[in-house]
Structures are given as C-alpha cells and as structure tokens.
Amino acid sequence: MSIITFFSGSFCNDRAVLDELKQKTGYPVIDDRIIIAAASRASGLSEKKIQGAFSAKISLFNQFTHEKERSIAYLRLALAKMLDTDNLIVSGASGLLIPQSISHVLRVCLIADMKSRIANAQKQKQISEKEAAALIRKNDENTGAWVKTIMGPMTRGQHPPMIS
C-alpha cells in the first residue's frame, strides 16, 4: 500500500504536475475539497467552517467554541477513513495531517521562485504584479499558519521532521 501526498505553494503550476503524477501512477486523487466534504458530513459543521481551519485567522469565539480544533479533528477523522485505500494521492494541505510515523507515505512539496509565482498569478487572475504579490503573501501566510498548527511552533533554525 502506497500513499503520495502532494502539497504546493500557490501559483506553482501544481495542476500540471499533479495530473502527470496521477496519469503515471494510475492512483486516484483525494483533495482537500473531498476531505472537507467528508469532515462536514461527519461533524455537522458547514464546509465553510471546516475550510476555515486552513486559514491564519482565528475566530474571536474560537476560545469558547473550539471550532478550529474540532474542524481539524474531523479533517483527521475523514482523512483516516480514506487512507485504508491502497495506492492513493492526497493532494493539498490535508496531506499534512498524516502522521510522520506512517512509513508508506511519499511526501511531495512543490514550490517555485517568487518571480514565476507572481507571473502565474497575474496571468491566471488578470491582476497587477502588486496584487499578485499580495495574494501570494496572503496564501503563504495561511499555509504557514496551517503548518504551524499541525506541526507545532519551530524555533529558528529548526526544520520539520524528516522521513527516514
């Protein structure tokens, strides 16, 4: 049984790489949308609320409702139920929820240089260079917050755990 997680920065032409990976392996792809929908069904929370777990913003009411933590727990549960499938690609931020102790996971992260990302954002969104840079910074901030939430805070110079 093999699992590939595929995680990418925004505007890195990830769709082309993911399509090629899917074609070469023949593995089905489970993406964040599918996992969010399953977590929503299991929890009774709206998909929008579950999606909010990926955001750097935290609701003022979260300290009372623990909505973010509940959303992440249901995302983990939904993903865990899907991982009993052989030969699978998990695409998106949800792939980071798979524990490092699971050894049959190939973790792939795709990133491009900022100049290329800005050019891609301008082309895809029909926006200015300044708007593209701001959008990428916002996306990266959300991604960084997600990684920090899942992996915990790291000290300067510390790296995320590597797979051996």
In a domain, 164, yes or no: no
In a domain, 65, yes or no: yes
In a domain, 95, yes or no: yes
In a domain, 67, yes or no: yes
Q: What CATH number has the domain bearing residue 62?
A: 3.40.50.300
**β-bridge mates for residue 88, sequence order:** 3
Mean pLDDT of the region 146-154: 82
In a domain, 42, yes or no: yes
In a domain, 73, yes or no: yes
Residue 161, pLDDT above cutoff 60: no
Residue 78, pLDDT above cutoff 50: yes
**Full residue range of the structural domain in which residue 85 is found:** 3-113
- Residue 65: the pLDDT is 58
The residue ranking higher by pLDDT, 157 or 84, is: 84
- pLDDT tens per residue across span 87-134: 999 999 999 999 988 889 999 999 999 999 999 999 999 999 999 999
Report CA-CA distances (Å) from 104 to 4, 16, 89, 93: 8, 24, 12, 18
In a domain, 52, yes or no: yes
- pTM equals 0.83
Number of domains the chain is built from? 1
Mean pLDDT of the region 47-71: 77
Report CA-CA distances (Å) from 115 to 28, 39, 109, 127, 147: 32, 36, 18, 15, 23
In a domain, 41, yes or no: yes
